[in-house]
Amino acid sequence: MPPLPLRAQIREVGLRDGLQSIQSVLPTAHKIEWIRAAHEAGQREIEVGSFVPARLLPQLADTAELVAFAKTLPELFVSVLVPNLKGAERALEVQADLMLVPLSASEAHSLANLRKTPDEVVADVARMRAARDASGAKTLIEGGIGTAFGCTLQGRVEPAQVLHCMQALLDAGADRVSLADTVGYANPAAVRELFEAACKIAGERLWCAHFHDTRGLALANVYAALEAGVTRFDATLGGIGGCPHAPGASGNAASEDLAFMLADMGIDTGIDIEGLLALRARVAQWLEGETLHGTLWRAGLPKTFGAAVHHALSV
């Protein structure tokens, strides 16, 4: 069995992947409060929004303001999503620490969602890299490969195609690459296999795994990815977001459940889980009427959690 890592990082993407999927528009003041409290609870990577036209996603129109605020918090690594060169220019302007460029390995999903082929996105990334290098900004470029485990439109997505996209993104100048199970099709065996292959290609540049909990497998998939060497995971507080094609189905991996699982296995995330649960309760109030997910908020922490987690067997 491969050893588990001693540390792992949870990137909070609730303010982007979560909020873009739900009806409510959260006021900027609440988002700032969310970022501040998440930071207080020990979260050190937050995707605060997306530089897309406000007419497409009015929920995320305040992204520049959120980056500016988030950058005032010590040791916080601030990400944004950018769908195109224009978005990337704004990310460079506000000096985000990282910009995530989504690419769909599924041609069908890519055309429907991004209105570009995967190759066109790769060409965009090359232009973004040139712009970044010319600007002198330190913003990292992450190529985020979505529908990496299948697609609701085209069905199966070949692992070879996913790995081909990954290599192309790296060749085009992406500093980081990641794999996302955009529609909740992944299973632990597929995760283990694809992430092992991805690690071989990208090495240290393999940045993150992003799982949806549509079929209840997000945490099982995280565990399989940990075994494959992944140490960074996207998640959303209260599991908000997820697949609009399965109403009522669970959304993203819930940050608080993931933080609990990792900590209970003795993997340090730096997160104060009680603090995160308290924040979840506030966000649930702000988003009244929206469906939140997760289990820890109801079940509570086990009596055994805390001082003595995951002792080695002494037999």
How many residues are there in the chain? 315
Contacts of 95 (CB under 8 A, 6+ apart): 67, 71, 137, 138, 139
Determine which residue in the list 137, 197, 199, 278 makes contact with a second copy, applying CB under 8 A: 197
- Name the segment binding a second copy (CB under 8 A); options: 17-25, 59-67, 133-141, 152-160: 152-160
Phi, psi of 140 (to 5 degrees): -75, 150
Question: Following DSSP, what letter does each residue of 157-204 receive, concatenated?
Answer: --HHHHHHHHHHHHHTT-SEEEEEETTS---HHHHHHHHHHHHHHHGG
62 binds a second copy (CB under 8 A): no
Determine which residue in the list 50, 84, 178, 214 makes contact with a second copy, applying CB under 8 A: 214
111 binds a second copy (CB under 8 A): no
203 binds a second copy (CB under 8 A): no
220 binds a second copy (CB under 8 A): yes
151 binds a second copy (CB under 8 A): yes
Whole-angstrom distance, CA of residue 115 vs CA of residue 103: 11
* Exposed / middle / buried, residue 299 (Cβ in 10 Å: 0-12, 13-18, 19+): exposed
Q: Is 243 a catalytic residue?
A: yes
Whole-angstrom distance, CA of residue 72 vs CA of residue 58: 24
Question: Following DSSP, what letter does each residue of 249-307 receive, concatenated?
Answer: S--BPBHHHHHHHHHHTT-B----HHHHHHHHHHHHHHTTTSPP--SHHHH---TT-ST
Determine which residue in the list 51, 97, 257, 276 makes contact with a second copy, applying CB under 8 A: 257
Whole-angstrom distance, CA of residue 286 vs CA of residue 97: 28
Min CB(183)–a second copy separation in Å: 8
Whole-angstrom distance, CA of residue 315 vs CA of residue 302: 24
Determine which residue in the list 11, 31, 192, 205 makes contact with a second copy, applying CB under 8 A: 192
**In terms of CB distance, is 35 or 168 closer to a second copy?**
168
Site string for a second copy, 88-107 (x = CB under 8 A): --------------------
DSSP one-letter code for 59 = G
For the chain, helix, strand, coil in percent to 5 are 45, 15, 40
Asked if residues 47 and 79 have their Cβ atoms less than 8 Å apart, the reply is yes
Min CB(200)–a second copy separation in Å: 10
**In terms of CB distance, is 21 or 214 closer to a second copy?**
214
Determine which residue in the list 185, 195, 207, 211 makes contact with a second copy, applying CB under 8 A: 185
Determine which residue in the list 261, 276, 277, 279 makes contact with a second copy, applying CB under 8 A: 261
* List 151, 165, 208, 243, catalytic entry: 243
Determine which residue in the list 6, 29, 134, 315 makes contact with a second copy, applying CB under 8 A: 315
- Name the segment binding a second copy (CB under 8 A); options: 11-19, 74-82, 250-258, 272-280: 250-258
**At residue 215, what is the residue type?**
R
Residue written as token pair 């305040």:
62
Which residues form the interface with a second copy (CB under 8 A)? 1-2, 4, 150-152, 155-156, 158-160, 163, 183-185, 187-190, 192-194, 196-197, 213-217, 219-220, 222-224, 227, 243, 246-250, 254, 257, 260-261, 264-266, 294-296, 298-300, 302-304, 308, 310-315
Tell me which residues are annotated as active site.
243
